[in-house]
Amino acid sequence: MAHIVSLREAIAKNVHDGDTLALEGFTHLIPFAAGHEVIRQQRRNLSLVRMTPDLIYDQMIGMGCAARLTFSWGGNPGAGSLYRFRDAIENDWPHPLQIEERSHADIASAYVAGAANLPFSVMRGYTGSDLPKYNERIRFITCPFTQERLAATPSIRPDVTVIHAQKADRQGNVLLWGILGVQKEAALAAQRVVVTVEEIVDDLRAPANACVLPEWLISAVSVVPGGAFPSYALGYYERDNRFYKAWNGIARDRDTFLAWMQRHVVQTSDFAEFRRTLKSGELQERHS
């Protein structure tokens, strides 16, 4: 059932205006190439979900793709702020962004509940925090057995989940390893699943308990070597910390950001061309 297609086709077929879209990957395996393709295809009015918006949602928010964001930690990991995310929340630029703010433990549990076909998640959380005062979807229930007070939050069930993984085989079975984040749960909670991979192999050679997503869960698989850059793929390439640091200088100013996105994402045809524009050294010369 998994179709091995170009990323352009995978996004065109599976991501529509107004969708609830989750691009997951906890620092590791962030699907940057897929996010860029969503920007190129000018998707609008998306409800984005991601534990850590990271640079990829900074880009999508700044380019006007998002109407709504569910998240739990919105910084540039190890390098500072997400200026486009902040500009949207602080100044409604490029337009107002509705936010639903939760904690990591909650979003992780909410994907588990979504994957398990449950309407809500139960956890020990949020006691003493102001978050429930500003997010009416964080509520508290009483355990019917022990009478304990527990937090209940709606499960997360994206229309589309997109992840990046190390390998697929020719049938489209997908193998990922290293820091796994919530990718398996986010995939199982979604109606449609798009996966980009580093490579296609004849045999995954996966150990018995490895994290393999069977091909019949997946709507489309696309081969995009380096598709998690500037995040990383364990066993393939490391996180590009220089890029993460340089991003502050690119994203702080609206015009600089827009010009960079035009030059490197909108006006490039795919991720390989995006990478070639960076190799020209522009990033380093201008921003570090």
Partner 1 sequence: MSAEAYSTSEMMTVAAARRLRDGATCFVGIGLPSTAANLARLTHAPRVSLIYESGTIGAKPSVLPLSIGDGELATTADTVVSTPEIFRYYLQGGRIDVGFLGAAQIDRFANINTTVIGPYRKPKTRLPGAGGAPEIAALAGEVLIIMQQTRRSLVQKLDFVTSAGFLDGGDARERAGLPGKGPVAVITDLCIFEPDPATRELMVASIHPGIERAAIEAATGWPVEYSSRVQATDPPNAQELSTLRELLLRTAAAHGSGAEN
275 binds partner 1 (CB under 8 A): no
258 binds partner 1 (CB under 8 A): no
CB 95 within 8 A of CB 73: no
Nearest to 171 by CA among 203, 148, 144: 203
Look up residue 129 and give its two tokens: 């925090």
Sign of torsion, CA 223 228 233 238?
A: positive
What gap in Å lies between CA 146 and CA 70, rounded to an integer?
Answer: 31
Q: Measured from the CB of residue 189, what is the shortest distance to partner 1 in angstroms?
A: 11
Q: Which SS3 state, helix, strand or coil, does residue 47 take?
A: strand
Measured in whole angstroms, the distance separating CA 259 from the mean position of its chain's CA atoms is 23
85 binds partner 1 (CB under 8 A): yes
How many residues would you count in the chain?
288
72 binds partner 1 (CB under 8 A): yes
Q: How many residues sit close enough to partner 1 to count as binding (CB under 8 A)?
A: 55
In the complex with partner 1, which residue's Cβ is closer, 242 or 275? 242
86 binds partner 1 (CB under 8 A): yes
109 binds partner 1 (CB under 8 A): yes
DSSP 265: I
- The correct pick among 28, 36, 192, 264 for binding partner 1 (CB under 8 A) is 28
CB 81 within 8 A of CB 54: no
Site for partner 1 in 129-188 (CB under 8 A): 129-131, 134, 148-149, 178-182, 184-185
Query: For partner 1, what does the binding mask look like between residues 197 and 236, x meaning CB under 8 A?
Result: -----------------------------------x-x--
What gap in Å lies between CA 96 and CA 73, rounded to an integer?
Answer: 19
Which positions touch partner 1 (CB under 8 A)? 26-28, 51-52, 71-75, 77-79, 81-82, 85-86, 89-90, 101-105, 108-109, 111-112, 123-131, 134, 148-149, 178-182, 184-185, 232, 234, 238-239, 241-242, 244-245
